[in-house]
Amino acid sequence: MVERADSGAVAAETPVVPGVGKRRRGWVLAGVAVVLGGVLGFHRLVPNWPGRVGSLMESFLPWGGALVVVLLVVALVRRSAVALVALLLPVGVWVDTFGGLLLPGEEGGGRELVVVQHNVSDENRDPAGTARALADSGADLVALEELVDPQLAVYEKALAADYPHHVVRGTVGLWSKHPLSGEQVVDIKPRSIEVGWSRGLRAVVRSPYGDVAAYVAHLPSVRVGVGGLASQRRDESAALLGRAIAGESVEPVILLGDLNGVVEDRGLRPLTSQLALADGGFAFSFPAAFPMARIDQVMARSATVGHIRTLPATGSDHLPVVARVTLE
């Protein structure tokens, strides 16, 4: 008589192959590393819709290095050789893109101007202290944004001794140790902003090395919300400024300003496509309490912008940035 198997018998367990789970996790880490390397290297191919996602990603592109470090730690903990090999891709791309910014700046040459760019904040409670700190930098040119009454009078008085030449148009200004001429407003107002908004100026600096066209600009702010990055006004203003600089007849050209965007942001292409960027230095300038990005920029044409760095905090929510510009 054949006995039937007990219906309540426990089914045989599937055998577990040692290391399979770890290998799978290793391949997942490797995939993430490859995607990260692709984003770092080909960020221009990321669509800017919906919500200008491309510009938003580019605003924090240097921080991709922090993600590489996190992945490296995880790969080491998992002891995943495939993930470690895959990480060579984002490491190489990041070093190629941003590694040069880590190098120390070279000594300045003879034909150079030291320039400072600072959004002083319209809520600055210590404009006199801010002005003294900027003057102590010894810069040839100082560009300021968010100049409002009554703080403007404080800056004019505090900077007069070191900078006998200055021009203010709207809420932006330029202080210079050298004579200025040809001062004029640069219209960078987006169409949707009301009349009276003025954030751009141009002046010719009579430097010891010849005339230099200096532009000071404060592009509209951007906002991050549920719909993504709202940068339409900033982008429109950047295009207007780029058009004005493209038509400039005086060379060299120096642009100083709070551009409300990093140099990798495609929204600033009208400027970055025709102007040289800083050779070195991250100089994250905003927010001052915990700097995450450099939105205060120094760019030039027919000139080289050397190592850019930040100065100590003032009464502003931005940090000042300083750079040496070598004229060609």
Quote the pLDDT of residue 101: 84
Residue 55: CA count within 13 A, CB half-sphere: 23
Contact criterion met (CB below 8 Å) for 266 and 55: yes
Cα distance between residue 199 and residue 206, in whole Å: 23
Per-residue pLDDT tens over the stretch 176-213:
999 999 999 999 999 999 889 999 999 999 999 999 99
Q: What integer is the mean pLDDT of 36-65?
A: 90
Quote the pLDDT of residue 52: 87
Quote the pLDDT of residue 6: 52
Considering only residues 52 and 201, tell me which one the structure prediction assigns the higher pLDDT: 201
Contact criterion met (CB below 8 Å) for 234 and 222: yes
Is the model's pLDDT at 157 over the cut of 70? yes
CA angle 152, 157, 159 (to 5 degrees): 95
Per-residue pLDDT tens over the stretch 253-302:
999 999 999 999 999 999 999 999 999 999 999 999 999 999 999 999 99
